[in-house]
Amino acid sequence: MDTAVKTIFSQNGIDLFGAVPFEKCVPANERLYEKYKGVMKTVLIFAVPYRTRLVPQDDYKMSMYARVYDYHKKFVPLFEKLTAQFKERFPENVFEGYVDHSPVNEKHAALLAGMGVAGRNSLLITHKYGSFVFLGSVVTDMEFPDETQEIKTCMNCGKCIEACPAHAIRERGIDPDSCLSGINQKKQVTPEEAAFIAACGYVWGCDECQNVCPLNAGALTTDDEYFTGGFINELSAGWLRGLSEEEFCQYPFSWRKREVILRNIDLIDAQRP
């Protein structure tokens, strides 16, 4: 990879990245993919770790990504800086940044770049930060040497399959309709789903498959103030109700309104002794 590109990533606190030919990536957003096909030459894929060393003081379970501020709000200014610096250094080229709505499958691109392995739980498990990362991509018409690697899979130890409370991990990844993370984010749940939420104890999401993964055991954490500063240390119904709308919208669960997560807290509290 070009030394200047590496330097720009490093200056923005990004130390896990790679370059993949656009033509070797698979589509995610069909409209954008067709728009860029034959025009963009490279996908610059990078990872941002979100797991901190902070330990919650409450007794609720919650996916770690939901205990920190919404990553989308971090990526907006990050892309502004990255693309501005890329364009300043390479004024003849085009650079466009994406997160979630990328024209290409970012997990697949990261695997091609050799940034990690594909887990049985369908997650990318990076060599440095485990599976606790968010992915971003910058598509460009700048060409890079093709250094793609063969996609590698995890050791297939089966621990994530055993730990999944919903038995949602199948031969080809996760069944989203069965996954607890999908169930406890629903606006409306059946009595059976409500009982399942209460029994599992997760107010939002589920990290069980990640927590037992041997490849996550030595994963590094982040000291990024964006994630440490907004960390939810003591979750409670009272704390949630007391948040202003502006404060509530800082968190990734805000897209479902606070009634959903408050419902889950009530379900879990009701089954406790």
Residues classed as catalytic: 100
DSSP state of 243: S
Going by their DSSP bridges, the two strands 61-62 and 202-204 should be labelled as parallel
What is the distance between the alpha carbons of residues 94 and 82, in angstroms, rounded to a whole number? Answer: 12
Asked if 29 and 18 count as a contact pair (C-beta separation under 8 A), the reply is no
Tokens, residue 98: 């994406």
Asked if 42 and 19 count as a contact pair (C-beta separation under 8 A), the reply is yes
Asked if 234 and 92 count as a contact pair (C-beta separation under 8 A), the reply is no
Helix (H) or strand (E) holding 45: strand 42-49
Which residues lie closer than 8 Å to 1 by C-beta, 6 or more apart? Answer: 17, 18, 19, 144, 145, 147
Instruction: Produce one character per residue of 250-262: b if its CB has 16 or more CB atoms within 10 Å, e if not.
Output: ebbbbeeebebbe
Tokens, residue 195: 């009982």
Integer Rg of the chain from CA: 20
Sort residue 181 into left (φ over 0), alpha (ψ -120 to 50) or beta.
Answer: alpha
Q: Which residues pair with 234 in a beta bridge?
A: none
Closest CA to 40 of 138, 141, 142, 137: 141
